[in-house]
Structure 1
Amino acid sequence: MVKHKDQHWVPRSYLEAWVDPETPDKYESYVHLFDRTGQAHKKKSPAKVLHMPDLYTIFNGASRDLSIEHTFGQWEDAFIKVRNKIELDADLTEEEVADLYVFAGALMVRPPHHIEHFAGQWRDIVARARTIKINPNVKAIPSLTKGPSLSLDEAQRYGDDPMGTWFKDNLATTIEILAKRFGIDVLVNQSEHPFLTSDNPAVTYHPPVSERFRLMPRGLGSPGCEVTLPISPRYALLFRHKEPTLHNYLVADWETVFEMNFRTITRAKEKIVSDRPDLFFVKAILDKIAEVEAEKQQYGE
């Protein structure tokens, strides 16, 4: 039997916070899984959802390097201990706050659609480059960089083997930026409705900008950028540009919970997760999405 074959991009231990508390006795505990419209409802064990075979495995010939998968496992274990302390309203150490940055930063880049986005860009670059016909009699254009060049075969590896090439650097950079530029507030849900989560739980949010700047690229350093991560139906992390540390526990009223779930649902890839079979927010959120889309069409976006 192949060990660690199925690898979760949303950790099973993280999803266990959304287990239905009314799971019948002698049943395997389950979460409620929906599509992005609130339909296709299924009850699934956290162990059986949001995983892929060898997603983070590095292949060296016939051998399987599981270093990334094992590292994620260690980070997940550390996060669960911190989440338990948050639920007990206990003070966190600096190391435990660091564990929150690491866990959230990893969730920003480890979903397969994020990995495929960058891998696909490398494959497209190589495919285009291979169509270029080079005239050997024309002098090459001087390079504008002083660093090492990248051959087409090496670039092809970036597209075909993310785990063995660029993924670790991407992961480290994302965590570093989050830890250096963002402070954390913990949102405490005081409404009767839960924070939802999804197959893409760490959401980057950029505030609306004026028509003049709407086409400018925006990243984690853009003014007003926020990262949100629900960590249970009752708690969520809010990362904002301020001194890096854990700042406050903030009461989340109905409107705040709605906004959090709006971000979670609209940035989900395919699936949303709840601890209950009914999704109160979905219709209202879909109505809001329709309003946003109508505004985009009005401005020709």
Structure 2
Amino acid sequence: MENRELKKKLSAIKQLPALPRVVSHVLQLLQNPDSTAHEIGAAISQDQALASKVLRTANSAFYGFPRKITTINYAIVVLGLNNIKNIVLSSTIINGFSTSSSDGIFDRRAFWEHSLACGIFARKLSVHLGMKNSEEVFMWGLLHDFGKVVLDIYFHEEFIQAVELSRTEQTPLSTAEFEVFGFNHSGVGALLLRKWSMPLPLVKAVEYHHQPDQDHSAFRIASIVHAADYLCRRLAIGSGGDGTLPALNKKAWKLMGISADEVKQLSKEVLEEFALATEFLNEVEKAE
């Protein structure tokens, strides 16, 4: 899905952020099954701002732990490694791409609200499918569209042109991006995640969520995010930057094996959880 024009455009960005050294080390430890909680806690504690953010987010209503979590090691034990990874990665990316344009055409807060709701829906769908890595799936949904933010920051004029084109022609933003750039946000997000050595399932969920049957090996991964994105747009939680409901891939929807009544129930649960999850978003957005 990557193309030469995309690579050429992104390689020209000298300021394209790398993951901070401490964050990169923490994520490497979190992906290593031989790492101990003590090692991970010590690595997080090397960055006071990161440690503070982990503790604040761990104590938010989103996780709902009844007792106050006061140490990083305790947070790791209580929340588990996948939740800690989610906090570290989401806070780093959201803060790293927090520059907002003054024109307000692309609403960054509404964008992250949509992304957060998509993460919650993706996790719910993964549980419905009997998957064991539901917290990892949450991150697939949260970051599925983050290539849009990259485009908004580094190619602002062209991106706004794509946003306005999608609204004028009532076409999905991904389609308008292809018209303007020759590629879309899913390719941008996947390329950057690869650069950061992120887990392959996350990369493929981001890369193929608009076309889940384009890569057979990624079909289940991408289908979950595709369906979650569609359902979130139906609920109109936040904004992906356009107002067009994307076409639903029938094969991906069939894979979900979900009835109309189950969709209604899951939607109710997502809305309830999203009300608590806004505190999660508030915490990870805070700059130190």
With the length of structure 2 as denominator, give the TM-score of the two structures. 0.29
Q: Which has the higher strand share?
A: 1
Larger Rg: 1
With the length of structure 1 as denominator, give the TM-score of the two structures. 0.28
